[in-house]
Structure 1
């Protein structure tokens, strides 16, 4: 009887220990950046589940499910499955994270019309007119001369190289640290929240919605051609609110300047990125891609990331240390 009582009394402790072990595995496997991406993908899949099963809906749903699987697989390879060389863990995890982020942007061209076939350009235009009296993109047509267009087209096109440069330096070249975690969290936060914004507030932008009100086409040369060809090849077409051309370089600027507080090598990259960001922001309206309200939303998103990313990175680091777990970017 006493032995039975001891067995019964010990059972909850064993269950608790088992639960604790599973929680440690769970918390050790997935980091804050993984969670942000998985939550985004889950939201997208749920939105798709509410739509009619067309060819595009099925294709986007399968792509989303595949991306979820890739992130789960990358986390297991990176932090759980034993016997895998550290270099393989590092490469698989980083390539998967970046690849899924890129794939989820590229699929938006088909996904956005499925999730939201309508557009709210009229509402965005009225907000601009309420604030400025007239749509800024129409006012800025007075500057539509080739030297000005080429200047701002160059900066608009530089967005892609800024994104690539920060990804390579922060994720691949820099020594893994809390700064790496903050960069990943902030970048994923900006893009995931931004892309949810595209689904909540779909629009084509002034270049299409106000096409009849412009006096003529953009008077551009080489760099404008690069911008136009890139947009036609890879743009989601209805991806205007918030402006990620505003949010991303602004976030990178804030990230670099925050890092410069403890590492002066980041100061000049932050200043240069800020200069590029200012020109990119102006170009988004001048080149007729965005309403001004899209820019304000992009700035709000970037500054929110600038506040929350370092805080979450600090929390993530302390949480993992307190549980005896390896750092989010340590795969040895």
Structure 2
């Protein structure tokens, strides 16, 4: 069963996000990741136990909401960390040893590791979590894309730079001399826990070799392109808030009908997009619910040129 079908088994939106974080495919290919990739489960029985645990949590998610729906968690990375911390604290697999502990040298913070955990078999792991959403800016003329072709929507982040930072700085924290003073008995095996979705302008792009074959995909279009493609669309369009970027969403029939009733106004508003905006298209299923059909970014018409410059910038 693929990740999307697993996520669809749960009704609560926060439980869906947690299930997505646990079961979504890795962005990176294990053979090209530069470090071992993290796996939430050591055995098939732990995976099955987690599915059962999520089903129970879905019926009564109050404790998860209390942890993850903190008004102070306004950044997507913090929200994802809170979900994974909840799983490691309360779930049926590995157990949490420490989370988000700063590492200091002479009172100056030099880094903060994400998670230390111990598996049922006794393995002691250091996980660094990254949940990333990049747009591929290459034009498809190159034989193969490069990681530097994948840029953040606001052009403040780039996949190659993030990957290098994870490998050379974040994963190295538990091997530094300063770490020994914290008293966490090791050794600790560093692993990458990297999830997300990559957005493409066309279908002809051969992804960068570092990327996993099953990585989640979306699309991006300029305002002009999107307007021309979707002028006659019968989908219900929704702007996805940043904290709704993980799992797919469902809409009640009444909400979807309301969106369709105001479709022209929504399309007009989106046609005036001045910064990259994630949107999702919803269509009605056999139960009358509106389910997500696709997800993508609408970007200003001048964004591609600026993004290509950013992809080539030496930082």
Which structure's CA Rg is the greater one?
Answer: 1
Judging by fraction of residues, say which structure has more helix: 1
What's the TM-score, normalizing by structure 2? 0.30
Judging by fraction of residues, say which structure has more strand: 2
